[in-house]
Amino acid sequence: MGIWKSCFLGFLSVAFLFTIDAVQLHRNQPTERISGSAGDVLEDDPVGRLKVFVYELPSKYNKKILQKDPRCLAHMFAAEIFMHRFLISSAVRTLNPEEADWFYTPVYTTCDLTPNGLPLPFKSPRMMRSAIQLISSNWPYWNRTEGADHFFVVPHDFGACFHYQEEKAIERGILPLLQRATLVQTFGQRNHVCLKEGSITIPPYAPPQKMHTHLIPDKTPRSIFVYFRGLFYDVGNDPEGGYYARGARAAVWENFKNNPLFDISTEHPATYYEDMQRAVFCLCPLGWAPWSPRLVEAVVFGCIPVIIADDIVLPFADAIPWEEIGVFVDEQDVPKLDTILTSIPPEVILRKQRLLANPSMKQAMLFPQPAQAGDAFHQVLNGLARKLPHERSVFLKPGEKSLNWTAGPVGDLKPW
């Protein structure tokens, strides 16, 4: 009897050890965890820390739009659709709005595509406005806080400014109705009109399966120093250069086209993902907007991202210590890029590679279908959970109103 007892206890202790990952069974690349508030936060589980209520909007706001153009599921703004799908089947969803901490409105504003597949934002403000009018009239929760405990996913170029051209976006500003809501967007630039305080920055959508099918063995030696594929001059829209990417991409080309260490070109090879895995540094310069899917690709493939975008706010910046992982280069320092990169000490480079190899880092950048622990969906929920509990000022006193329903350009006020 005593033997059985000790056996059972032994089994329990071993099981416990395995669950707390004290024993590592498999050989991995030694990864580094940034202990403390930054790194470990990626592995937090949002279930139990917040409750989200998903409004049931008529399908003209979501399903019908998707049916009209299913390409929305594959472009870099697909996060809004996948977020909706994740939330309706997630454990944080509650069907009782009284106990909800956050309210989600599933409206696909970035799904009006041109024949070439680029989204047109011209109807988006009206769509959003119409959706908000609907939820404010059918449920009391919007008016209770004027949207302060609601969140919206607006993954378009300049977020809730709903325009692809920066000057126009700045002129429009964030949609006035969304002034108090939390915005989950890909755009992030400090001191910019289109980045509201308290927004959550997410990575653009990159297809996880496609990236995983292009993985090459880890022992393939990294022999490319700097890698970049993309446009330097946007000849269609900015032929003289200087406007696109604030001239930074053009500067990269002009300064380094003769440099054998820089494997940069506009060609799109079939081995793009494989080449990234053979490179030490991957350039992630801004384009028309500061964010780019290259950051996601660089993180997934273990290539150190070189971010050339002044004042950019990177995804989940409060959870991921980007300064320690990537290299930030000011746009004015682009001509000195080779000096900057070669003067980084090798130990620092090896450390960055170890941090990048951390699987929770890679997982946090992806939107896998179905959702997995630690992925970008969970990071968004973690971000929302970190903003709880709501302040008292969120709930409006009776008679207090701050939203102006008629603000904004006249064209926005038309019904959708």
Partner 1 sequence: MKLSTLQQSYINRRTNSFRGSTQLDSSTDGAVKSPATIFWLVLHGVCCLISLVLGFRFSRLVFFFLFSTSSNNIYTVPFNSDAGITIPVETQLNHINSLNRTAVVASRVVVGRHGIRIRPWPHPDPVEVMKAHGIIERVQKEQKALFGVKNPKTVIAVTPTYVRTFQALHLTGVMHSLMLVPYDLIWIVVEAGGVTNETASLIAKSGLRTIHVGFHQRMPNSWDARHKVESLMRLHALRIVRKERLDGVVMFADDSNMHNMELFDEIQNVKWIGAVSVGILLHSVDAAEISSLVQKEGEEDTMPMPVQGPACNGTDKLVGWHTFNSLRYSGKSAVYIDDRAPVLPRKLEWSGFVLNSRLLWKDVDDKPEWIKDLDALDGDGEEIENPLSLLKSTTVVEPLGSCGRHVLLWWLRVEARTDSKFPARWIIDPPLDITVPSKHTQWPDAPPELPSNDEKEKVFAGTEEQSNKHTTKTKTSRSRRSRSKRKHDTKVIGVQVSTHSEQTEI
Member of 45, 49, 225, 229 binding partner 1 (CB under 8 A) = 225
Min separation Cβ 370 and partner 1, Å: 30
CA distance 80 to 84: 6
Q: Do 369 and 82 meet the contact criterion of CB atoms below 8 Å apart?
A: yes
Q: What are phi and psi of 256, to 5 degrees?
A: -125, 15
Query: CB within 8 A of 225, min separation 6: which ones?
Result: 261, 262, 263, 279, 280, 281, 341
Nearer to partner 1, 47 or 120 (CB): 120
Residue 113 corresponds to which amino acid? L
Measure the CA–CA gap between 309 and 326, rounded to whole angstroms: 12
x/- track of binding to partner 1 for residues 248-267 (CB under 8 A)? --xx--xxxxxxxx------
| Smallest distance from partner 1 to CB 407, Å | 8
The one among 139, 164, 328, 416 contacting partner 1 by CB under 8 A:
164
Stretch 95-154 residues interacting with partner 1 (CB under 8 A):
114, 116, 118, 120, 122-123
- Residue 397 CA to residue 388 CA, distance in Å, equals 20
Q: Which of residues 286-305 bind partner 1 (CB under 8 A)?
A: 287-288
DSSP 103-141: EE----TT--B-TTSPBP-SSHHHHHHHHHHHHHHH-SH
Taking the complex as a whole, how short is the minimal distance between the CB of residue 77 and partner 1, in angstroms? 12
Of 30 and 399, which has the nearer Cβ to partner 1?
30
370 belongs to the binding site for partner 1 (CB under 8 A): no
CA 208 to mean position of chain CA atoms: 14
User: Considering Cα of 243, then 244, then 250, then 252, what sign does the dihedral take?
Assistant: positive
* 370, amino acid identity: P
Least distance from partner 1 to the Cβ atom of residue 228, Å: 15
147 torsion bin: left (phi>0), alpha (psi -120 to 50), beta (else): left
Q: Which stretch binds partner 1 (CB under 8 A): 59-67, 95-103, 204-212, 330-338?
A: 330-338
Choose between 170 and 394: whose C-beta lies nearer to partner 1: 170
Structure token pair of residue 65:
């739009």
Q: How far is the CB of 15 from partner 1 (least distance, A)?
A: 29
Tell me, rounded to whole angstroms, the distance of Cα 166 from its chain centroid. 19
The site string for partner 1 over 183-222 (x = CB under 8 A, - otherwise) reads ------xxxxx-----------------------xxx-xx
Q: Is 228 among the residues that bind partner 1 (CB under 8 A)?
A: no
**234 near partner 1, rule: CB under 8 A:** yes
Binding to partner 1 (CB under 8 A) within 27-56 occurs at 29-30
Residue 346 or 389 with smaller CB distance to partner 1: 346
Q: Specify the amino acid at residue 180.
A: R
